[in-house]
Each structure stands twice: as structure tokens, then as C-alpha cells.
Amino acid sequence: MSRYFLRFGALGYLTLLLLMPVAFVFYKAFEHGFAPAWQAVTTPEALHALKLTLVVAAIAVPANTVVGIILALTLVRSRLPGRGVLNAIVDLPLALSPVVVGLSLVLFYGRGGWLGGLAGHGVHILFAVPGMVLATMFVSLPFVVREVVPVLREVGTEQEQAAETLGAGPFQTFRRITFPAIRWAVAYGVVLTTARAIGEFGAVSAVSGNIEGRTQTLPLYVKAQFDGFDTTGAYATSVVLALIAIAVVVGLRALHPKEESP
Amino acid sequence: MSGITVIDVTKRFNGFTALQDVSVTIPEGSLTALLGPSGSGKSTLLRVIAGLEEPDAGQVLIGSEDVTERPARARGVGMVFQHYAAFKHMTVYDNVAFGLTIRKRPRAEIKRRVHELLELVQLEGLAKRYPAQLSGGQRQRMALARALAVEPSVLLLDEPFGALDARVRKELRAWLRRLHDEVHVTTIIVTHDQEEAMEVAGQIVVLNDGRIEQVGSPRELYDSPANEFVMSFVGPVNRLGETFVRPHDVEVMLEPDAGSVEAMVERVVHLGFEARVELVRDDGQHLLAQLTQEEALQLELERGQIVYVRSSRETVFSEAARRPDRPRSG
């Protein structure tokens, strides 16, 4: 009896916390029908925001995938001293509030920061796309590393050593042995990284300057529309973000079919 | 095919000495066992020969070539690991073909060679399976075929049957012996099982605490062990003060005779052909005697019975062989 009560409680919690608010956004977006919603998400500003979001993700995700795999290999395979510190640093973006990430980038690249002089040479990082890419890379760094590390530990080094004795060089060993062993973990990490890159608000907001039609990603656009009392625009764009998120979750399920409920 | 020469190899791991000034020669075409308890350095020695561990000092020669500085991939060794190290995402065929694919051999040649090898290890018909669909014994045979595919000058087996159950292990030992008679490649097998070493190998290298205790044929090790360690490692032994006696060299008699000592039967264990008799001598020392079933039946031994024992053959080691004077690792 108490088991059913617990289950019902957990379901109610999920419904109230997650399902109803998101469903409400969908409801509000289409409150006045499909046409106004479609109009709201196809304005030049909204389309630009969508495009910029995808561009930022298209740079940050591959970069973090490559770096993430290298970091994971370093953490698991190398005998480098200070791996414990490196391990902690990789987790930093998860622990740190994104706004702090954004502000630290502003300090570092801004006027008077260590790399603040770059702007004088025509390299604009803050209030421009490079800064947004950097912020996104920062916050979405841990996912590939965290997915790949346990899998690398589990597969061990015997297969790699066997490949080595059979004549494979380091790159061949990686391509033919190590990568196939971790590819699902990498894919899972890529999906999580993508989700985070597309949805990031705080860090990107701090460095972007939030200039409409220039440095606004979708989450920033949603906030701007909401603040400007364009609720239909805000909700409709939210729906676009939510749909992307749902596609990502479905992608996750496709990658991990084993975890499907029994 | 080449012999292997190891000269003064030392290997330490974080202050732990795994190998200390080890020198040994593995004759061309032989099947040699590295035998020792866990932590004796036998696996480390194998990995140093393979090039998977870099020695802190010393040299490794394969044939007449110094390969000490050469990476594993350029040594021409074939290695088989205890836990198979099967490439899980590849079929049996692709596993065996791996070394040839890396060497960019023509497809037709690879195909011919892989099928030859699969036949040799009796896995024909399983080429399209994945390692997960094979039994442990089949996986290890696949790993052996994979190692042999590149025609290595030496074959290195690291506890290859350690993860298999007793019956399969026995089968594979006999099979390995026959395979070696067929392919004649210089082979080293690492094992902690003295019976396995004696059954399979022509030459045994006994290691203990990172040093070589003795090198010899199974007979030599058993009949004239160099020291206490080898004597007790290669077979059961009774220790009576400074004297060592094999259980099958203990005579059990009903009447006293010259040089015999009184003893009481504590337990008789019948094991088919042989019978083991646990005895306690009148001076309190425990003793194990190994008799044939027939001898045991003739004596009508039973618990609590008083008998007389005598050793037909005993070994006493010199002071040096008894307590090898050596600095301990650490």
C-alpha cells in the first residue's frame, strides 16, 4: 500500500515540477492559434537567434568532444602527477554558477583583463560571438569527459596492449580499439553537451551584451521577449527550445535502449 | 624464430623491486615456463620481453638483436593475455586478421591466412561470431590465433589458462603442447601452477621475489632442486628439521627397521591410484606419506595405528641454498 503511495507521490512531484509548467508553456504559445506562434518564431530576430544558437553549438560541441576525449584519456591512462587536481578542475563548470563563469570571462578578456588588450588589435571577444562560444564551451566541458572516463576505466588497457604487440601504432590503436570501445559514451556525452550548449543562459548572457539581432541566442531572445511583454513570442520560442530538448532526450533514449523501463 | 636473451634486467615500480638483475636465456624453438608465486616478477619479466614494460636497467635480445629500446609493436612478438584481451567490437575473423590488416597485407592473403589459423585453433565456422558469443576456451584460442597471425618470432603467454575452469585448462594445456610441436615458435608461458609448467614446458625458470631461483628441465627441478624454495614450490615436501623429504619417498612399515622412526596414523585419504597418509612422528613432527592404493591396502592402515617410517631419499641444502642471502625488496 505504502509502495503505491510513494509511487504516486513521485509521479505527482514530477507532474507538478516538470510536466505541468512545460505543458503550460505549450498551451500559452498556442493560446491564440498556430499562426501567431509561427509568426513569432519566424521574425528576423528570432531566426537570427536560432541560427546563432546553432552556430555556437556547432563550434562548442565538436571542440569539447575532442578536448573531452583527450582529457579523459589523460585522466585514466597517463601517470601524470596532479591528475587529481585536473579531475577537480574538469568538474568546476558543473559546480560554478554560470553567471560567475560569464563574469570571469568578462574580467579576463575585458578592458584591464589579462587578455583585454586583444580588443585593441581588432580581436573582439566580449559582446561578440567568440565570447559566447567561449562561455558555452566552458559550461559544457565536463559532459564528454564524465561519460568517457568510467568506460575507459572499465575497458582497461589489455586490448590496447594486444593491439600494440600486433603492430598498431598509437593512432591506429586509438582509431581501431580505443574509440570503438568508448563511442557510445562519446555519443552520450555529445548529446548532453549539445543540450547544455543550446540551453545555456547565464554565462552567455554575461558575455554577449545581449544585442538583438547580433548577439542573442534563443534563450536570451526568450528572456528579451518576455521582458518586453511579447508573451506569445517568448512562449513560442520557448516551445522551439523545448522541442530541441525533447529531440535530445529522444536521442538519449535511442543511444541507451538498455535503460528503457522493463 | 629466435631465442631470447635477458641480461641483468632490473625493474622497479614505485620503490617495489619487481625484477632484480635477472639474466636468462630462452633457447630458440623451446617452450619455456616462467614459474613463481604471485608477485615473483614472472609477468613483469614477460612484459619486459614483450616491450610493454621498460626495464630500469639491463638488455633484452631477440635473436641476436638488442630490442631493449624498441617499442612493442616493432618487436615481432605475439602476446596472449590472461583475460583474452579480445577486441570486443570485432568478429573472430577481424580479431585474427588485425595484425595483418595493420600491415596492409592484400585482402586475399589475409583471408587465406585467417582461415588457416582458425583451422589450426579449431574455430573454423565461428569466424563471424563476436567474442561475447564464445566460451572462455574458444576466446583464448582465438587470441592465440590472433597472436600467431603476424608470424611472431616469439610467442608470449601471460597466464593464458588462468581464467578458465580446471577441465578446459587441462585440455588446452595438452593442445598447446601439440600446437607447439606443430609451429615450433619460441614460446614463453607464465604460470603460477607448477603442474601446468611441468606438463607443458621443456624448460622451467623458477622466479621468486624478483630473482631467478633455478632454470632447468621439469625433471631437474624436481629431482635436484637448487634450494628450499624450488623444492617446496615444484611439489609437496615434508620438512624434518633441516631435511626435506618428498611424500613419495616416505616408507611406511608395520615393523621397526634400521633407521625407522615410530609414528601414528592421523588420517588416510584415498585418491584412486594413490593414497595419502597423514602421520605424526613420536617427536611430534607431522609427516605426509604418499603410497599407492595397493600398498595402503596391504598395510591395512587406519586411524590411530602405530607404524614405522623411514625416508628412502632425503635432501639437505647447504646453508647458502637454505637461506638465500639477499637484500629484500622494499
Nearest residue on chain B to A157, alpha-carbon basis: B85
Of A159, A172, A180, the CB nearest to B85: A159
Cell of A17: 515540477
- Where is average pLDDT lowest: A63-72, A108-117, A140-149, B61-70? A108-117
Question: Which pLDDT belongs to residue A251?
Answer: 81
Residues shown for chain B: 330
B105: pLDDT confidence band, cut at 50, 70 and 90? Answer: very high
**Is B73's CB within 8 Å of A166's CB?**
yes
Query: Looking at this protein, which amino acid is placed at residue B243?
Result: T
Does residue A42 belong to the interface with chain B, where contact is any CB pair within 8 Å? no
Of B81, B89, B103, the CB nearest to A167: B103
Whole-angstrom Cα distance, residue A31 to residue A25? 10
Whole-angstrom Cα distance, residue A187 to residue B161? 36
Query: Do residues A161 and B85 lie in contact, with contact meaning Cβ atoms separated by under 8 Å?
Result: yes
Q: Is the pLDDT of residue B329 over 60?
A: no
Instruction: Give the residue-averaged pLDDT of B251-255.
Output: 91
Whole-angstrom Cα distance, residue A193 to residue B89? 26
Instruction: Give the residue-averaged pLDDT of B251-278.
Output: 91
Q: Give B73's contacts in chain A (Cβ within 8 Å).
A: 164-169
Whole-angstrom Cα distance, residue A149 to residue B194? 39
Does residue B86 belong to the interface with chain A, where contact is any CB pair within 8 Å? yes
What percent of chain B is modeled with pLDDT above 70?
96
Q: Is the pLDDT of residue B323 over 60?
A: no
Min Cα separation B65/chain A (Å)? 17
Of B51, B89, B102, the CB nearest to A166: B102
- Where is average pLDDT lowest: A59-63, A152-156, A209-213, B127-131? A209-213
Instruction: Give the residue-averaged pLDDT of A72-84.
Output: 89
> Among B191, B192, B102, which Cα is nearest to B149's?
B102
Query: Do residues A90 and A142 lie in contact, with contact meaning Cβ atoms separated by under 8 Å?
Result: yes
Is the sign of the CA dihedral B182, B185, B186, B189 positive or negative? negative
What percent of chain A is modeled with pLDDT above 70?
97
Question: Which pLDDT belongs to residue B200?
Answer: 94
Three-state secondary structure call for residue A129: helix
pLDDT digits (tens, 9 = 90+) for B52-97: 999 999 999 999 999 999 999 999 999 999 999 999 999 999 999 9
Q: Is the pLDDT of residue B218 over 90?
A: yes
Higher pLDDT, A119 or B328: A119
Min Cα separation B226/chain A (Å)? 35
Domains of chain A: 35-255 (1.10.3720.10)
A138: pLDDT confidence band, cut at 50, 70 and 90? Answer: very high
Of B83, B98, B102, the CB nearest to A158: B83
pLDDT digits (tens, 9 = 90+) for A211-261: 878 889 999 999 999 998 888 889 999 999 999 888 888 887 787 655 433
- Where is average pLDDT lowest: A31-35, B21-25, B246-250? A31-35
Of A159, A164, A177, the CB nearest to B73: A164
Higher pLDDT, A152 or A260: A152
ipTM for the predicted complex comes to: 0.85
Min Cα separation A161/chain B (Å)? 7
Question: Which pLDDT belongs to residue A259?
Answer: 43
Instruction: Give the residue-averaged pLDDT of A128-140.
Output: 93
Min Cα separation B47/chain A (Å)? 10
Q: Give A177's contacts in chain B (Cβ within 8 Å).
A: 87
Is the sign of the CA dihedral B128, B131, B136, B140 positive or negative? positive
Mean per-residue pLDDT over chain B, rounded: 91
Mutate to test the interface with B, among A165, A177, A183 (most CBs of B within 10 A): A165
Question: Which pLDDT belongs to residue A70?
Answer: 95
Look-up of cell digits 570486443: B88
Instruction: Give the residue-averaged pLDDT of B226-234.
Output: 92
**Is A159's CB within 8 Å of B150's CB?**
no
Question: Which pLDDT belongs to residue A256?
Answer: 67
The secondary element (H helix, E strand) that includes residue A204 is helix A202-208
Mean per-residue pLDDT over chain A, rounded: 89
Q: Is the pLDDT of residue A134 over 80?
A: yes
> Among B108, B127, B107, which Cα is nearest to B118's?
B127
Whole-angstrom Cα distance, residue B147 to residue B149? 6
Instruction: Give the residue-averaged pLDDT of A15-32.
Output: 89
Mutate to test the interface with A, among B44, B102, B150, B158 (most CBs of A within 10 A): B102
Q: Is the pLDDT of residue B304 over 50?
A: yes
Nearest residue on chain A to B155, alpha-carbon basis: A165
